[in-house]
Chains A and B, each alone.
Chain A
Amino acid sequence: MAAHRCSCWSWLLILFSLSVFVVADIHETTPVNDHHGGVDHNAQTAEQTADQPAVEERRWEATEVKEAATVDAAADIQGTSAPETVVPSSVPQPKDDFQEELVIRPLHSGDIYASFQFRTLWDTDFMRENKVSHYRLFPKSLGQVISKFSVRELHISFTQGYWRTMQWGQPFIPSPPGAELWVWFQDSVTDVDATWKELTNVLSGIFCASLNFIDSTNTVQPSASFKPLGIGNVTDHSFLRYATLPREIVCTENLTPWKKLLPCGSKAGLAVLLKSEKLFHSSFHSQAVHIRSVCQDWQCKTTSWELRQTLNSVFDLHNSGQTKREWSLFKMFSRTLTEACPLASSSKLYIDITDNPQGEQFELSPATSLLSQAVVLGDRRTFSVYDLTQETTFGSVRSLNLLIRWKSNEGEMLRPLLHAERYVAGYGLQTGEIHTLMYNNHPYRSFPVLLLDSVPWYLRLYIHTLSVTSKGKDNKPSYIHYEPSKDRVKPHLLEMLIQLPPNSVTEVTVQFERALLKWTEYPPDPNHGFYVGSSVISSLVPSTVAMHTNSTRERPLFSSFFPCKEESSYFVRIYTEPLLVNLPTPDFSMPYNVICLTCTVVAVGYGSLYNLLTRSFQIEEPNPGLAKRIANVIRRMRGVPPL
Chain B
Amino acid sequence: MGLLSDPNRRRALISMLTRLNAPICVVCYFAGVAWFMGLAFEPFTLRTYMSENAMGSTMVEERFPAGERALATGREFAAHKKKVGGMPVDWLVKNMQDRGLEVFTQSFSRTLPFPDENKERYIVKGTNVYGILRAPRAPRTEALVLSAPCSPGDGNNQAVGLLLGLAQYFRNQIYWAKDIIFLVNEHDLIGMQAWLEGYHHTNTTGMSWSPLQGRGGSIQAALSLELSSDVITSLDLVLEGLNGQLPNLDLANLFYAFCQKIGVLCTIQGKLQRNDWDSVSGYNHAVQTMMLMVMKQASGRPWGDHGLFLRYHIEAATIKGVNSFRQYKTDATTIGRLLEGMYRKLNNLLERLHQSYFFYLMPSLSHFVSIGYYMPAFGLLAVILLLRALDLWVQLNTPPSTTEDGVADIDQSSPGVLSVLTPLVISHLTGVALYALPIRFQETAVEHFPVSETEAVVLTAIAIYTAGLALPHNTHRLLSGEGTEQGWRVLKLVAVLYLAVLLGCTALINFSLGFILALTLVPLAAFVTPHVPKVLSAFILVILSPACTLLFSVFFFQELQDMPVSFQDGWLLYLSVISQGILDHSLYGSLVYPLIALLVYPCWLLFWNILFWK
Evaluate whether A283 and B136 lie within 8 angstroms (CB atoms) in the complex, with A427-B312, A527-B351, A615-B5 already known: yes
A600 to chain B, nearest CB (A): 13
**Bound CA–CA A318/B172 (angstroms):** 7
A532 to chain B, nearest CB (A): 10
A528: interface (CB < 8 Å): yes
Out of A162, A283, A424, name the residue touching B140 (CB < 8 Å).
Answer: A162
Complex interface: chain A residues within 8 A of B110 (CB): none
Binary A-proximity of B353-368 (CB < 8 A = 1, otherwise 0): 0110000000000000
Out of A282, A604, A617, name the residue touching B137 (CB < 8 Å).
Answer: A282
B313: interface (CB < 8 Å): yes
**Bound CA–CA A525/B140 (angstroms):** 19
A578: interface (CB < 8 Å): yes
B72 to chain A, nearest CB (A): 19
Evaluate whether A178 and B139 lie within 8 angstroms (CB atoms) in the complex, with A527-B351, A589-B355, A615-B5 already known: yes
Centre residue among B7, B140, B313 by max chain A CB count within 10 A: B140
**Bound CA–CA A427/B201 (angstroms):** 9
Complex interface: chain B residues within 8 A of A424 (CB): 218
Complex interface: chain A residues within 8 A of B172 (CB): 318-319, 321
Asked if A612 and B352 make an inter-chain contact with CB atoms under 8 angstroms apart, the answer reads no
Complex interface: chain A residues within 8 A of B215 (CB): 421, 423
Out of B2, B100, B171, B218, name the residue touching A529 (CB < 8 Å).
Answer: B218
Chain B positions 159-215 with a Cβ under 8 Å from a chain A Cβ:
171-172, 174, 200-202, 214-215
Binary A-proximity of B1-26 (CB < 8 A = 1, otherwise 0): 11011010000000000000000000
Out of A426, A589, A615, A617, name the residue touching B202 (CB < 8 Å).
Answer: A426
**Bound CA–CA A160/B136 (angstroms):** 9
**Bound CA–CA A429/B218 (angstroms):** 13
Evaluate whether A161 and B139 lie within 8 angstroms (CB atoms) in the complex, with A281-B174, A427-B313 already known: yes
Asked if A162 and B136 make an inter-chain contact with CB atoms under 8 angstroms apart, the answer reads no
Name A429's closest neighbour in chain B (CB-CB): B313
Out of B137, B139, B202, name the residue touching A578 (CB < 8 Å).
Answer: B139
Asked if B136 and A161 make an inter-chain contact with CB atoms under 8 angstroms apart, the answer reads yes
B489: interface (CB < 8 Å): no
Interface residues on B, range: 20 to 34
Chain A positions 502-539 with a Cβ under 8 Å from a chain B Cβ:
525-529, 531
Asked if A282 and B200 make an inter-chain contact with CB atoms under 8 angstroms apart, the answer reads no
A607: interface (CB < 8 Å): yes
Binary A-proximity of B556-573 (CB < 8 A = 1, otherwise 0): 000000000000000000
Chain A positions 475-491 with a Cβ under 8 Å from a chain B Cβ:
none
Asked if A318 and B5 make an inter-chain contact with CB atoms under 8 angstroms apart, the answer reads no
Binary A-proximity of B96-135 (CB < 8 A = 1, otherwise 0): 0000101000000000000000000000000000000010
Name A534's closest neighbour in chain B (CB-CB): B139
A435: interface (CB < 8 Å): yes
Evaluate whether A284 and B350 lie within 8 angstroms (CB atoms) in the complex, with A167-B102, A423-B201, A582-B313 already known: no
Name B352's closest neighbour in chain A (CB-CB): A527
B240: interface (CB < 8 Å): no
Complex interface: chain B residues within 8 A of A316 (CB): 136
B142: interface (CB < 8 Å): yes
B508: interface (CB < 8 Å): no
**Bound CA–CA A381/B142 (angstroms):** 36
A433: interface (CB < 8 Å): yes
Q: How many residues of A contact B (CB 8 A)?
A: 51
**Bound CA–CA A316/B217 (angstroms):** 22
A629: interface (CB < 8 Å): no
Complex interface: chain B residues within 8 A of A426 (CB): 200-202
Chain A positions 134-168 with a Cβ under 8 Å from a chain B Cβ:
160-162, 164, 166-167
Asked if A282 and B313 make an inter-chain contact with CB atoms under 8 angstroms apart, the answer reads no
Chain A positions 242-289 with a Cβ under 8 Å from a chain B Cβ:
246, 280-285
A601: interface (CB < 8 Å): no
A643 to chain B, nearest CB (A): 27
Complex interface: chain B residues within 8 A of A100 (CB): none
A453: interface (CB < 8 Å): no
Evaluate whether A319 and B174 lie within 8 angstroms (CB atoms) in the complex, with A161-B137, A424-B218 already known: yes
Out of B136, B138, B311, B355, name the residue touching A427 (CB < 8 Å).
Answer: B311
Asked if B201 and A531 make an inter-chain contact with CB atoms under 8 angstroms apart, the answer reads no
Asked if B201 and A425 make an inter-chain contact with CB atoms under 8 angstroms apart, the answer reads yes
Centre residue among B1, B7, B215 by max chain A CB count within 10 A: B1
A13: interface (CB < 8 Å): no
A563 to chain B, nearest CB (A): 32
Chain A positions 25-77 with a Cβ under 8 Å from a chain B Cβ:
none
B141: interface (CB < 8 Å): yes
Out of A177, A531, A582, name the residue touching B352 (CB < 8 Å).
Answer: A582
Out of B1, B354, B355, name the residue touching A611 (CB < 8 Å).
Answer: B1
**Bound CA–CA A423/B201 (angstroms):** 9
Asked if B217 and A318 make an inter-chain contact with CB atoms under 8 angstroms apart, the answer reads no
Out of B4, B137, B312, name the residue touching A284 (CB < 8 Å).
Answer: B137
Centre residue among B102, B139, B171, B218 by max chain A CB count within 10 A: B139
Complex interface: chain B residues within 8 A of A587 (CB): 354
Asked if A608 and B4 make an inter-chain contact with CB atoms under 8 angstroms apart, the answer reads yes
A82: interface (CB < 8 Å): no
A101: interface (CB < 8 Å): no
Complex interface: chain B residues within 8 A of A167 (CB): 102
Out of B139, B201, B354, B355, name the residue touching A246 (CB < 8 Å).
Answer: B139
A103: interface (CB < 8 Å): no
B219 to chain A, nearest CB (A): 10
Complex interface: chain A residues within 8 A of B171 (CB): 318
A580: interface (CB < 8 Å): yes
A352: interface (CB < 8 Å): no
Complex interface: chain B residues within 8 A of A580 (CB): 141-142, 217-218
A579: interface (CB < 8 Å): yes
B145 to chain A, nearest CB (A): 15
**Bound CA–CA A421/B350 (angstroms):** 24
Complex interface: chain B residues within 8 A of A611 (CB): 1-2, 5
A97: interface (CB < 8 Å): no
B531 to chain A, nearest CB (A): 37
A306: interface (CB < 8 Å): no
Asked if B140 and A604 make an inter-chain contact with CB atoms under 8 angstroms apart, the answer reads no
A155 to chain B, nearest CB (A): 19
Asked if B352 and A528 make an inter-chain contact with CB atoms under 8 angstroms apart, the answer reads yes
Asked if A435 and B201 make an inter-chain contact with CB atoms under 8 angstroms apart, the answer reads yes
Asked if B217 and A579 make an inter-chain contact with CB atoms under 8 angstroms apart, the answer reads yes
Complex interface: chain A residues within 8 A of B311 (CB): 427
A525 to chain B, nearest CB (A): 5
Evaluate whether A604 and B1 lie within 8 angstroms (CB atoms) in the complex, with A319-B172, A319-B174, A579-B217 already known: yes
Name A427's closest neighbour in chain B (CB-CB): B312
Name B173's closest neighbour in chain A (CB-CB): A319
Out of A423, A528, A615, name the residue touching B351 (CB < 8 Å).
Answer: A528
Asked if B218 and A162 make an inter-chain contact with CB atoms under 8 angstroms apart, the answer reads no
Complex interface: chain A residues within 8 A of B134 (CB): 164, 283
Asked if B351 and A525 make an inter-chain contact with CB atoms under 8 angstroms apart, the answer reads yes
B249 to chain A, nearest CB (A): 13
Out of B102, B137, B142, B200, name the residue touching A425 (CB < 8 Å).
Answer: B200
Chain A positions 426-447 with a Cβ under 8 Å from a chain B Cβ:
426-429, 433, 435
Evaluate whether A607 and B141 lie within 8 angstroms (CB atoms) in the complex, with A426-B200, A426-B202 already known: no
13 contacts between A and B (CB under 8 A): A161-B137, A164-B134, A423-B201, A427-B200, A429-B313, A529-B352, A577-B139, A577-B140, A580-B142, A585-B354, A607-B1, A608-B4, A617-B7
Closest 6 CB pairs of A and B: A177-B139, A425-B201, A527-B351, A161-B137, A608-B1, A580-B141
Given A608-B1, A612-B5, 12 further pairs, Cβ under 8 A: A162-B140, A177-B140, A281-B174, A284-B136, A316-B136, A318-B100, A421-B214, A423-B215, A580-B141, A581-B218, A587-B354, A608-B4
Binding site for B on A (CB under 8 A): 160-162, 164, 166-167, 177-178, 246, 280-285, 316, 318-319, 321, 421, 423-429, 433, 435, 525-529, 531, 577-582, 585, 587, 589, 604, 607-608, 611-612, 615, 617
Binding site for A on B (CB under 8 A): 1-2, 4-5, 7, 100, 102, 134, 136-142, 171-172, 174, 200-202, 214-215, 217-218, 311-313, 350-352, 354-355
